[in-house]
């Protein structure tokens, strides 16, 4: 199917059945540049005077030009060594905002009886707060190692593994579906970067939000202008 612009900035790339929120049981969101307006690692790097260096790695990774997300993240986190928890608090309070329509879409999904999963290659320092703000049910993200109120430049291993990359996002979506006793076809996956493609590939509905070109092309639906709640325009 040729991509069809349903309305300005809302593109459908594949033939879709009539969509109803009630037909889905789970929605999985990426966090950075999807649910929220920033790439947290880039903003933390600003406090270390290394934003340009880190942001260049982030951009190349999200575009799919750096295939190894784990190595990319380790490189970026190493450059954050010495940044204080106070500086990260400043990022949260002064720079981080929910993207337009995020709260509205999450609310609509919860009203329809869906569960909400936040699965992020970013950090629990921010993801935990976003979870609490939006009432998200499940979360998976990376843990920054902190010692003496400062970042050590390393990540903390967790029971499920070391780093939440694209494969871990896919695995988490599938595990959450299994826990809920549902098919992945009853899940929606929303993201913007190349590391979101694995989970988007197993979901019943994949949504690119203001995404990199590779992701826009591969998603079933692309929201290129406006807020996340534009997804509701496709729901009967």
Give the active site residues.
30, 32
Q: What SS3 class is residue 102?
A: helix
Backbone phi, psi, residue 210, to 5°: 45, 50
Residue 4's CB: how many other CB atoms inside 10 A? 12
Q: 159: Cβ–Cβ under 8 A, 6 or more apart, which residues?
A: none
DSSP 117-181: EEEEEEEHHHHHHHHHHHT-SEEEEEEEEEETTEEEEEEE-BTTBS---HHHHHHHHHHHHHHHT
């Amino acid at each position: 199917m040729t991509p069809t612009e349903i309305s300005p900035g809302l593109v459908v790339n594949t033939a879709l059945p009539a969509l109803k929120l009630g037909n889905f049981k789970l929605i999985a969101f990426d966090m950075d540049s999807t649910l929220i307006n920033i790439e947290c690692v880039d903003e933390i790097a600003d406090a270390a005077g290394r934003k340009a260096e880190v942001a260049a790695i982030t951009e190349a990774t999200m575009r799919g030009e750096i295939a190894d997300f784990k190595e990319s993240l380790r490189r970026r986190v190493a450059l954050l060594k010495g940044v204080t928890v106070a500086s990260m608090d400043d990022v949260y309070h002064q720079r981080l905002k929910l993207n337009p329509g995020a709260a509205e879409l999450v609310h609509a999904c919860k009203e329809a009886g869906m569960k909400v999963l936040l699965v992020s290659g970013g950090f629990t320092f921010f993801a935990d707060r976003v979870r609490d703000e939006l009432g998200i049910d499940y979360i998976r993200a990376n843990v920054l190692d902190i010692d003496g109120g400062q970042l050590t430049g390393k990540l903390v291993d967790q029971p499920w593994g070391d780093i939440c990359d694209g494969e871990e996002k896919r695995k988490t979506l599938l595990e959450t579906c299994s826990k809920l006793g549902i098919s992945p076809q009853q899940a929606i996956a929303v993201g913007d970067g190349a590391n979101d493609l694995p989970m988007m590939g197993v979901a019943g509905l994949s949504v690119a939000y203001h995404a990199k070109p590779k992701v826009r092309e591969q998603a079933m639906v692309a929201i290129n202008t406006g807020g996340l709640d534009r997804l509701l325009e496709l729901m009967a």
